[in-house]
Structure 1
Amino acid sequence: MEAVGLSKRYGSVLAVDALTFTVPRGVVTGFLGPNGAGKSTAMRLMLDLDRGEGRTAFDGKPLKEHRHASRVVGAHLDAKVFHPQRTARNHLRMVGSDAGVSNARVDEVLSMVGLDSVARKRPKTFSLGMSQRLALAGAVLADPMCLMLDEPANGLDPQSIQWLREFLRNYASQGRSVLVSSHLLSEMQLMADRIVVIAKGKLITDGTVEDFVSMSTRNDVLVRCDRPEALVELLRAEGVTAVAEGPDGLAVIGESTDRVGEAAFRAGVVVRELVSRRASLEEAFLELTSDAQGFAAGGQL
Structure 2
Amino acid sequence: MSASGGGKAILAAFLANMGIALAKIVAWLLSGSASMLAEAIHSIADSGNQLLLMLGGRKAKRRADREHPFGYGRERFVSAFVVSIILFSVGGLFAVYEGVQKLIHPHELDRTWWWLPLAVLVVSIALESFSLRTAVKESNQVRAEDQSWMSFIRRAKAPELPIVLLEDTAALTGLVFALLGVGLTLLTHDPLFDALGTLMIGLLLVIIAIVLGIETKSLLVGEGASEADFDRIVDAILAGDEVEKLIHIKTLYLGPDELMVAAKIALPSDKTVRAAADDIDTIERRIRSDVPAARVIYLEPDVYRPSLDPSPSTDAFVLRSAD
TM-score, length-scaled by structure 1? 0.26
Which of 1 and 2 has greater Rg?
A: 2
